[in-house]
Amino acid sequence: MRKGVMRPGHVQIRVLDVEEAIVHYRDRLGLIEVQRDDVGRVYLKAWTEIDAWSVVLRPADEAGLDFMGFKVVDSDTLAARKQDLIDYGCEVETVPAGELKGCGERIRFELPTGHKFELFAEKEQTGKWGVTDNNPEAWPEGLKGMRASRFDHCLLYGDDVDGAVDLLQNVLGFQLAEQVLDRAANDFRVAAFLTVSMKAHDVAFVRHPEKGKFHHASFYLESWNDVLRAADLISMHDIPLDIGPTRHGLTHGQTIYFFDPSGNRSEVFAGGDYTYPDHPVVTWDADKLGKAIFYHDRELNENFLGVVT
Ligand code: M3P
Ligand code: FE
C-alpha cells in the first residue's frame, strides 16, 4: 500500500573535484546547473523536473553517496512517516529547512544496508526548464550533452537487503517490483528493485558485504537512439565506459554505464517496464543473473558487479 512517498527527489553525491564533476553532470549528462551554496555544494536539475534541483555534488576526499531523498505529498505525511519510522525503531534525525538551499525540513534515517535516506515535503518549484506550463513545446533548445530528462533512480549495494526491503515496504509503502533469488540457497535475496510509482524502480539494492555502497545514479533519456547518442558522446570525450549500450533483463531498460571523474558510476537509460500496485513481483533466478543484468551478453561482468564507491 502506498504511503504518500511520491518520488526520488534528490541525491547528494561526493566528488573529488567539483569543477571536473560539473563538466560531467552538466556538459555530458546535460543537467542544468542551478546554484551553489556556502559549503561548496553544486545543485543541478534535469530539464523535465519541476522542483528546483535534484542532484547535489559535494566536494569531499572520497567518492560515494551521501544520501538519497524522497519527496512525500505533504507535511502531514512527512510527520506521519517520521512517527512510523520511530515506531519501527529507526533513529530519525531532523535536518532543518534551508540546510539544502530551497528545501524544507528533511527527516533522515539509515537503512539496514547502511544508506542514508531522507524524506521531505517541500522544495522550491521552478518548473520545467526552458518550457512553460501553458501550451508547452516538446523540448527546450539549448540542452547540453546527453540531454538527461530526469533523475530516475539509484542502485545501492549493502548487506542487509531484506532489512531495507522490509522497512521500505512496510513503513514507507514502497512496492517490490523485481527481485533476484538464489533458488539453490533457500531463496536468498540477491537483489531487490522497489518503486513508489509506475516506474520499474525508484531505488534498487544488490547484496554486498560492505554497508552503504553506491553503484550508480541513473538518468532517463527519451529513446534508444538517445542511448546510442550518449555512447557517441562517451567516446567523443574519452569518458571511462563501464558497459553498454545494451539492455537489462531486470526492468528491460536500454542502458549504458560510465563513470564520473571521481569514479562514481552514472547510468542513462530509456524504456523499461512499468508497475501497477496489483502487479506480481517479477523474480529472476540467481543462476540467470547474467541475462538478468545484461540481456544480450548474458554474462556477468566483474567490473559492473565489483566496482562501487
Ligand atoms: C539497473 C537498472 C544489477 C542490475 C542493474 C539494473 C543487478 O541498473 O536500471 O535496471 O546490477
Ligand atoms: Fe539502473
Considering 201, 208, 215, 220, which one is annotated as catalytic?
A: 201
> 227 in ligand 1 pocket by Cβ < 6 Å?
no
Active site residue 216: yes
Predicted confidence at residue 300, as pLDDT, reads 82
> 248 in ligand 1 pocket by Cβ < 6 Å?
yes
Decide if 202 contacts 52 (C-beta within 8 A): no
Angle at 92 between CA 10 and CA 18, to 5 degrees: 35
Predicted confidence at residue 290, as pLDDT, reads 85
Active site residue 279: no
**CA-193 nearest atom, ligand 1:** 10
CA of 268 to the centre of ligand 2 (A): 8
The dihedrals phi and psi of 22, each to the nearest 5 degrees, come to -60, -40
Q: Give the pairing type, strands 64-72 and 93-95.
A: unpaired
Predicted confidence at residue 122, as pLDDT, reads 98
Please, which residues bridge with residue 68 across strands? 11, 117
Alpha helix ranges (H) inside 191-296: 224-236, 289-293
Ligand 1, from 155, 156, 247, 307: best to mutate by most atoms within 8 Å of Cβ? 155
Active site residue 153: yes
Ligand 1, from 203, 293, 298: best to mutate by most atoms within 8 Å of Cβ? 293
Give nearest CA residue, ligand 1 atom 5: 293
Write the Ramachandran bin of 120: left for phi over 0, alpha for psi from -120 to 50, otherwise beta.
Answer: beta
Predicted confidence at residue 303, as pLDDT, reads 78
Ligand 1, from 156, 248, 283, 296: best to mutate by most atoms within 8 Å of Cβ? 248
Least Cα distance to 190 among 154, 161, 155 occurs for: 161
Predicted confidence at residue 1, as pLDDT, reads 85
Active site residue 201: yes
pLDDT in tens, the chain (309 residues): 899 999 999 999 999 999 999 999 999 999 999 999 999 999 999 999 999 999 999 999 999 999 999 999 999 999 999 999 999 999 999 999 999 999 999 999 999 999 999 999 999 999 999 999 999 999 999 999 999 999 999 999 999 999 999 999 999 999 999 999 999 999 999 999 999 999 999 999 999 999 999 999 999 999 999 999 999 999 999 999 999 899 999 999 999 999 999 999 999 999 999 999 999 999 999 998 888 888 988 888 877 877 899
